[in-house]
Structure 1
Amino acid sequence: MVVDLSLLVIRTSDIDAAKRFYEALGLLWREERHEGGPRHDSCRVGATLLELYPAKEAPRGRMRLGFRVDDPARAAEAAIAAGGRWRRDAHPGAGIILQDPDGNDVELAVPSEHEALG
């Protein structure tokens, strides 16, 4: 039985562009390299370790990530300025959905009242 998400790896064709996009949302990255492996960046989002790894070829699959942020409109503006794009075909009521530099959907929402109280 799964009780928590501990790791999520995002493969990217341009690690620096992806890093700038996610930094605009408030993520703080740390550069790493393990045992001769590729340079990659990591950060914590709650209990989850999020990693950006260079893709050996253009990423084929796309994913959708969701982040809770204090001010989705302000976060979206910063992310667009850092290389993101508006998701023009998002369905109504879906909140703010952007695309990162690799075309992954990134949804921005405010924390629920329960989560905000911590």
Structure 2
Amino acid sequence: MDQKLNLLVLRCRDIEVSRVFYEHFGIVFEREQHGSGPVHYAAVFEGMVFELYPLKEGESADRSRLGFAVNLETDLRESLDAAGIEIVSSYEFDGRLIFVVQDPDGRKVELIQSEPKASEGDWTRFRSILLILAAIAGSLSFLNYQSEPMNGSSVLDVYFFYFALLVSLLFWPVMVVAVVGFQAINPYSDPVWTRPTHSCNPFRLKNPLCIAHFLMYFVMAQGAGALVTAILGGWLQSLMGIGMIIGGLEGLWALELVMKRFPEKMALHDDVDVAGNAPPE
């Protein structure tokens, strides 16, 4: 007879704090309440229901031990440090390094890095092709703006352009933070986001970080292309190229601000599995 664990319930002193902790491991919870029962959180993965319930008054937290195989885009230790999760201890089992951390109720949680998921695929080559095309387009798109030297233009026009460029560079990071940050409350975006990389899908609408990350590099590629042919396009094309590169860098900085502002939305990885082969302490 085949047997499989399909339910795990943890009683927590503060289910909101516990939810944020376990979401760092990529677990996506839904808020639930059955009739007049307590509000709790539930997640389903690998055919198992994982629930966080509040402790009853006077009840003590258990000392269960959990284990997760986590699929990270970066080194496991670096990811835990970035999330501010302290590593209590570590040991090797079956030739693999296992880190032990504590959840908000003092339970030991073992983490081992699993093999990366291949379902999303590696978008690095596709993104590179698009960025090359963006650079080519940028090298040609501004040639028709003007080819006169700067001293052939009206002084008022030159100052107005400088002012408009300065204003756009000052407000661009604010706009990126506002637009991407708004997605944190968008019910159609992923409940938990993964940190953007050069291999993530640039068209995944549910992860605004990946889209914005690619757009910033797309803009910088256009700016770099514009600078290559600036000798033909004149001073305006040179400024446009420099402005686009600066704007792209500012946008990447703004994304870092978004990730720091909404740490509860950030996951350490894309997938979570139950690790049932770790030995107890």
Normalized against structure 1, the TM-score is what?
Answer: 0.79
* Equivalence for 1:66: 67
CA shift, 1:75, in A, is 4.5
Whether 1:20 aligns to 2:20 is yes
C-alpha separation between the residues in 2 aligned to 1:66 and 1:13?
Answer: 20
Aligned residues: 111
- Structure 1's unaligned 5+ residue stretches are none
Amino acid in structure 2 at the alignment position of 1:44:
V
CA shift, 1:25, in A, is 0.9
C-alpha separation between the residues in 2 aligned to 1:68 and 1:108?
Answer: 6
* Equivalence for 1:93: 92
User: RCO higher in 1 or 2 (8 Å CA, sep ≥ 6)?
Assistant: 1
Structure 1 contact 30–42 (Cα < 8 Å) conserved: yes
Structure 1 contact 10–51 (Cα < 8 Å) conserved: yes
C-alpha separation between the residues in 1 aligned to 2:91 and 2:32?
Answer: 39
Q: Among the aligned pairs, what percent are the same residue?
A: 35
C-alpha separation between the residues in 2 aligned to 1:4 and 1:62?
Answer: 22
Amino acid in structure 1 at the alignment position of 2:101:
L
Structure 1 contact 69–75 (Cα < 8 Å) conserved: no
Structure 1 contact 76–96 (Cα < 8 Å) conserved: no
* Equivalence for 1:34: 34
C-alpha separation between the residues in 2 aligned to 1:24 and 1:69?
Answer: 10
Larger strand proportion of the pair: 1
CA shift, 1:92, in A, is 3.2
- Structure 2's unaligned 5+ residue stretches are 119-281
CA shift in 2, pair 1:91/1:21, >3 Å: closer
CA shift, 1:67, in A, is 0.6
C-alpha separation between the residues in 2 aligned to 1:112 and 1:103?
Answer: 28
Structure 1 contact 85–100 (Cα < 8 Å) conserved: no
Structure 1 contact 12–59 (Cα < 8 Å) conserved: no
Give the match's secondary structure for 1:73: helix
Which deviates more, 55-64 or 96-105?
55-64
Which of 76, 79, 91 does residue 80 from structure 2 map onto? 76
CA shift in 2, pair 1:77/1:60, >3 Å: same
Amino acid in structure 1 at the alignment position of 2:66:
L
Amino acid in structure 2 at the alignment position of 1:64:
R
CA shift, 1:110, in A, is 2.0
Amino acid in structure 1 at the alignment position of 2:23:
E
CA shift in 2, pair 1:64/1:50, >3 Å: same
CA shift in 2, pair 1:63/1:30, >3 Å: same
Structure 1 contact 97–106 (Cα < 8 Å) conserved: yes
Structure 1 contact 68–108 (Cα < 8 Å) conserved: yes
C-alpha separation between the residues in 2 aligned to 1:58 and 1:101?
Answer: 16
Which deviates more, 6-15 or 103-112?
103-112
C-alpha separation between the residues in 2 aligned to 1:62 and 1:13?
Answer: 13
Aligned alpha-carbon RMSD (Å): 2.4
Normalized against structure 2, the TM-score is what?
Answer: 0.36
Compare CA radii of gyration and give the structure with the larger one. 2
CA shift in 2, pair 1:78/1:37, >3 Å: farther
